Amino acid sequence: MPFIATPDGTEIFYKDWGSGQPVVFSHGWPLSSDAWDTQLKLLADHGFRAIAHDRRGHGRSTQTWDGNTMDQYADDLGTLIDRLNLRDAILVGHSTGGGEVTRYMGRHGTSRVAKAVLVGAVPPLMLKTDANPEGTPKEAFDAIRAGLAADRSQFYRDLSAPFYGANRPGSTVSHGLRDQFWRLGMQVSLKAAYDCVAQFSETDFTEDLKRIDVPVLVAQGDDDQIVPIRAAAYKSVQLLKDAGLKVYPGASHGIHGAYEREFDADLLAFCRA
């Protein structure tokens, strides 16, 4: 299996499919690169080089005790991009992965980046504050940490319902998809999963978004129960220099079903443009 080693010795697993202009995918919490398989195949089938990695502590990458920070996630992504010598790359980030992509561009610049896609992404800030009243109260994230510490297996099973909108009337979410969420979540070390909650909820990406000088597609479902769209996509497009917004009516946080088919078409069109 392909790995790259970061300066602190962490082994980062990645998939590298197809050839052509590189499209690099960053996954959400608590998943891995496997969550992007449909999009990896789609892009590789259409003449792109599709790449996705497992964040440190997740999937097949090293389960480090330290380094579970947004800055380190961004630096790990930078190491992957540098080691593979990627140029003119398109970066795609979902949820926490959208934060990782945003922090990478804010921290390392865009010299290797052509454009980016943020889908259901956590920027600019998830946490409710006086300056961000649309955010989510800290108590909600404390409950996530408590659920992880008490019984993470059951917690992930329960979380898969709002993640994919399975708790909505008429939901067609399959048991298999929810099982996949649980399976990928259980591959994350407890320490990495626990630490990452603060990173995706409390990191302020406002200044990172302002620094991004490449075209960005901001996409999100308006029934996202995990990342409120009013605190995320609607605010991000106002901070970016060159952004387009796509809202998917009734769509959840997790990408699946009709939402996934529509997003895939939009992703491919954006990459080709």
Dist. CA 121–CA 200, nearest whole Å = 9
> Is residue 95 annotated as part of the catalytic site, yes or no?
yes
224 is catalytic: yes
Backbone φ and ψ of 33, nearest 5°: -60, -20
Helix or strand (DSSP H, E) at 244: strand 243-248
- Which of 27, 94, 253, 256 is catalytic? The answer is 253
Which of the residues 32, 224, 252, 256 is marked catalytic?
224
Cα separation of the two ends of the chain: 32
Distance CA 134, CA 117 (A): 22
Catalytic residue among 33, 95, 160, 201: 95
Distances (CA, A) of 55 to 10, 33, 100, 197, 235: 10, 8, 10, 14, 26
177, containing H or E segment: helix 175-186
DSSP secondary structure, 77-140, as one string? HHHHHHHTT--SEEEEEETHHHHHHHHHHHHH-STTEEEEEEES---S--B--SS-TTSB-HHH
Which residues are annotated as catalytic?
95, 224, 253
